[in-house]
Amino acid sequence: MDDPAPLRAPRIRRAGIPDDAVLVVRGDDLDPGTSRDQAESFLRRFPDWGRYGISAYFARDEAEVDDLASDQLERFPVIAVFERAVLVKAGFEVVATFRTPHVTVAFSGELERHLLALAGLQRRMVENPYHEHEPDRSGGDNP
């Protein structure tokens, strides 16, 4: 049997983002190169879609932000919480992709300009209380 053709566009859910999902949450390691690498990798993986993409999750309220911090984003020491309307007003698409509550913050055009715009958007940076520090290889633990 032949291998199935690779996906050339992301899986977009039939059920869109709920109207009351007003927040977009993503792990943020504060390194602009990380967003660039993810956006370029997304475009290479899904060339037929023709957009850059950055992974995030939707949330309706602070309880859902907390759930995401403890489950999906525990590897990040800091998370960024954007208002969905701020992203859309700045020209980004927030698309329901893959499994709920995953979304892709999508854009096309000049990569660097969009990354600078994203970095400059109003957002709330939250220390992730569920992040566990990696043990120090010298025998101690990182604080």
Radius of gyration over every alpha carbon of the chain, rounded to an integer in angstroms? 16
Query: Within a 10 A sphere around the Cβ of 85, how many other Cβ atoms?
Result: 12
Mean pLDDT of 122-141: 76
Lowest model confidence (mean pLDDT) among 6-15, 55-64, 72-81? 6-15
CA distance 95 to 24: 11
At residue 32, the pLDDT reads 77
Residues 6+ apart with CB under 8 A from 68: 25, 57, 59, 79, 101
Phi, psi of 135 (to 5 degrees): -65, 145
Read off the pLDDT band of 43 (50, 70, 90).
very high
CB within 8 Å of 20: residues ≥ 6 apart: 60
Q: What is the pLDDT of residues 2-38, one digit of tens each?
A: 545 556 889 999 999 999 999 999 998 667 788 999 9
Alpha helices in 1-143 (DSSP H): 32-45, 62-70, 84-89, 111-120
- pTM score, two decimals? 0.86
